Amino acid sequence: MLILLTILLLSAAVSAYFYFYRHEDRDRLLNPAPEPRDLSHLRPLFMPSEADLLADELEIQKHLKAGEAAEAEAAEHRLTIEFQGRLDRWKTAPTRGGLVDLFKSVHNNETLLADAVECVFEEWNNGRLDLSATELAQLIESHFWLVPAEKRTPGVSYRIQRLLSSLRAGVGDTLQTRDSLR
């Protein structure tokens, strides 16, 4: 009887083993692991936030704009130095062709054009330029209108218009023209 009892216990143990352990494998196969929780709204500990990324982007854009402004300022400075050299060369030998080249070199910058116009007007008043008042006024006005409208400022436009009106009138407001000296 002891043998029978031992066989019965062994068969119960084997059947329990198969029932419990095989049953878990079947459940795992039939019911896969549950979906992990959605953690997309969380960020890693050292990853920057959206606000940090936006602030960095704005900082980069600010530096780029500052660099562009510095480049534009340097280009403007080079243009001014180049213009002064051309103006000095033209003053040594004022000619009509040199005058047109001088005006062409500053057609995008109204301030330099106004400086050139005032210098030309002064040379014309001194009698060093062989042009009539109407020819000079037409030349100045034609180059004045070549300046883009967004670059024309009221103050500089006034300076040029005042010189043009004094050329057309033959007598300046406070400046004496070459015609009045004769």
* Whole-number pLDDT of residue 26: 62
Which residue type, as a one-letter code, is found at position 4? L
The structure tokens 């940090």 sit at: 52
Say which range, 13-22, 99-108, 125-134, 136-145, has the weakest mean pLDDT.
Answer: 13-22
51-107 pLDDT, tens digit per residue, is 889 999 999 999 999 999 999 999 889 988 988 998 888 888 888 888 888 888 887
Q: Which two tokens stand for residue 169?
A: 């009138």
pTM over 0.75: no
Give the whole-angstrom CA distance, residue 56 versus residue 59.
5
Phi, psi angles (nearest 5°) of residue 3 = -70, -40
Give the whole-angstrom CA distance, residue 96 versus residue 90.
10
Q: Which two tokens stand for residue 6?
A: 């031992």
Please, which residues have CB within 8 angstroms of residue 163's CB and are 6 or more apart in sequence? 117, 118, 121, 140, 172
Phi, psi angles (nearest 5°) of residue 47 = -80, 135
Q: Which two tokens stand for residue 94?
A: 């004022």
Backbone CA torsion sign across 159, 161, 162, 166: positive
Q: Is 79 helix (H, G, I), strand (E, B) or coil?
A: helix
Phi, psi angles (nearest 5°) of residue 7 = -65, -40
